[in-house]
Amino acid sequence: MTKPRFAYLLLKEHPYGREMLRQIMSEGFIPRLIIQEDSPIADEEREKFLERIHGNPIAPTIEEQSSEMNIRLITVPIHNSEEVLPHLEVEDLDIIVFGGTRIIRGDILDLPRFGVINSHPGLLPECRGSASPAWSVYHDIPIGSSTHFCDNGIDTGDILMRREVPVKRGMKYEDLCYQTLVLSGILMKEVLIAYEAGKWDEIRRPQGESPHPTFRNASDEILKVVHQKLREQTYAHYVD
């Protein structure tokens, strides 16, 4: 197979999406277009992630990366709108890649030939939803990232790849958030390499059930416990 024709969707200048775009383009996977959402939700999510990875490096901006590769960059007020579909329909897409979006459902998921894929900064199916590194520490779930197909659920589509982050004693919450962010980009890159090699049918598998509910954003009380467990090194899955 050849490299996929794909569109790349993300919240405006989301650090998660900036890193993922850098990773996939480093292997020659260049999107036909990038559609970013500029909204209050995008601002909120961007600032939230910047706080979570504080002290760690951030990839070049989407504007810089798209300009360097001459990629068409479109800004919309919301991805879940009729305004987005015409931009996608004319591209005859094989796939769509999500690089940090809010929940997107409906016609977009049915548009590309081989589906919509997303990387999630948590191990699936164990850790669905938001703030995965925090909930992983809180519930003693191994920390990692997963790349999966998107369906109308929340992080419930078939898995293509997943991998744990080796957590060492002394790592802080910000380090764990950063490591899952980077790993998400790496896994997306590897999944696209697998697509080019015609291996998706070989590696695709259903998730199964999760022993946990779908998580929402971690409260200050939850984060307090997370920081304490990391400080006292009582998290259950250290590698050293």
Instruction: Tell me how far apart the alpha carbons of residues 38 and 237 are, in angstroms, rounded to a whole number.
Output: 38
Give per-residue pLDDT as tens, 83-116.
Answer: 999 999 999 999 999 999 999 988 999 999 999 9
Whether residue 193 is contained in a domain is answered as yes
Angle between helices 15-25 and 173-196 (to 10 degrees): 40
- Residue 75 main-chain phi, psi, to 5 deg: -115, 130
Domain count, the chain: 1
Whether residue 204 is contained in a domain is answered as yes
Whether residue 238 is contained in a domain is answered as no
Whether residue 1 is contained in a domain is answered as no
Whether residue 15 is contained in a domain is answered as yes
Whether residue 203 is contained in a domain is answered as yes
Tokens (6 digits) for 157: 């589509």
pLDDT of residue 2: 92
DSSP structure class, residue 205: B
Instruction: Tell me how far apart the alpha carbons of residues 177 and 175 are, in angstroms, rounded to a whole number.
Output: 5
Whether residue 218 is contained in a domain is answered as yes
Tell me the torsion sign for CA atoms 12, 15, 16, 17: positive
Give per-residue pLDDT as tens, 108-143.
Answer: 999 999 999 999 999 999 999 999 999 999 999 999
Is 90 exceeded by the pLDDT of residue 1? no
pTM: 0.96
Q: Which domain range does residue 27 map to?
A: 6-232
Q: Which position has the token pair 């400080």?
A: 231
Rounded to an integer, the average pLDDT of 209-229 is 96
Residue 82 banded pLDDT, cuts 50, 70, 90: confident
pLDDT of residue 155: 95
pLDDT of residue 5: 98
Cβ neighbourhood burial of 55 (10 Å; 0-12, 13-18, 19+): exposed
Whether residue 73 is contained in a domain is answered as yes
DSSP structure class, residue 236: T
Alpha helix (H) ranges present in the chain?
Answer: 15-25, 40-52, 62-68, 85-89, 107-110, 132-138, 173-196, 200-203, 220-232
Contact 49, 15 (CB under 8 A): yes
Is 90 exceeded by the pLDDT of residue 30? yes
Q: What percent of the chain has pLDDT over 90?
A: 97
CATH number at residue 165: 3.40.50.12230
